[in-house]
């Protein structure tokens, strides 16, 4: 059985003091054996602070981004080796905001996935369609293309997580219908089986897009989904833990 993974993507929020306060509260809430895997994704300057706070706890540390190259003249970027030194376990690759705002294409995202995997960390490949693509019946072809190029050259799916995040549901307050998320997750699972065979069974598929305590159960109780990538609602530790509890199996 795949242990659900519920991840808190803080995006560009919180100061060091706010991060410490948040993590103290979260760790007060989370029992030693939470029954679900939790991960927190602070912005880069907060990673050392978060690493210290989470040491020895059941909550994992994640990074929101990475550059595919191990080193070089890439001002403002961060390598996977630098993340690994901080104790990072998970790395987001191809979040829709990176694709849209920073023009990251599927091949560049695939380079990130391979770099993260090669370093022994776990990539979370984010895939999802826009509203226009869904309305015109292209949701699956778009996601399939993102999977194909995002996982190109990846020999083993060990540690891989796929986050389905319909772009039109991110930060809008409008979540996808659970039936839509279920159908897409089933298609992703079938594609992964074709690509990786039995090794695909360990790959977790998350849902992301306006997940909050009020609707989390509708998604996280679906057998096709193995957790959630949470944005705005994850900024409150109580709300984040409330969401995580609905994923416990």
Residues with catalytic function:
95, 165
Q: Whole-angstrom Cα distance, residue 12 to residue 171?
A: 13
**∠8-106-234 over CA atoms, to 5°?**
10
- Of 166, 161, 175, the C-alpha closest to 216 is 175
Question: How far out from the chain centre does Cα 234 lie?
Answer: 12
Q: Whole-angstrom Cα distance, residue 91 to residue 78?
A: 11
**∠144-2-146 over CA atoms, to 5°?**
15
Question: Are 47 and 61 a contacting pair, CB within 8 Å?
Answer: yes
Which 3 state secondary structure label does DSSP give 152?
Answer: coil
Q: Whole-angstrom Cα distance, residue 207 to residue 176?
A: 9
Give the 3-state secondary structure percentages of the chain, helix then strand then coil, rounded to 5. Answer: 45, 15, 40
């Amino acid at each position: 059985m795949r242990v659900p993974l519920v991840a808190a993507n803080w995006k560009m929020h919180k100061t060091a003091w706010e991060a410490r306060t948040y993590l103290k509260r979260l760790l007060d809430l989370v029992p030693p054996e939470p029954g679900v895997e939790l991960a927190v994704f602070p912005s880069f300057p907060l990673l050392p602070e978060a690493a210290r706070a989470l040491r020895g706890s059941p909550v994992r540390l994640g990074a929101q981004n990475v550059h595919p190259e191990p080193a070089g003249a890439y001002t403002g970027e961060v390598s996977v080796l630098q993340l690994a030194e901080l104790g990072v376990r998970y790395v987001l690759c191809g979040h829709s905001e990176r694709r849209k705002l920073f023009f990251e294409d599927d091949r560049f995202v695939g380079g990130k996935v391979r770099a993260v995997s090669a370093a022994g960390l776990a990539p979370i490949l984010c895939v999802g369609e826009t509203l226009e693509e869904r309305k015109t019946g292209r949701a699956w072809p778009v996601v399939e293309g993102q999977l194909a190029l995002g996982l190109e050259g990846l020999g083993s799916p060990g540690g891989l997580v796929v986050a389905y995040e319909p772009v039109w549901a991110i930060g809008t307050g409008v979540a996808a219908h659970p039936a839509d998320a279920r159908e897409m997750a089933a298609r992703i699972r079938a594609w992964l089986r074709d690509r990786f065979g039995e090794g695909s069974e360990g790959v977790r598929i998350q849902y992301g897009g306006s997940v909050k305590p009020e609707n989390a159960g509708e998604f996280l109780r679906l057998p096709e989904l193995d957790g959630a990538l949470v944005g705005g609602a994850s900024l409150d530790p109580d709300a984040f833990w409330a969401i995580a509890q609905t994923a416990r199996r």
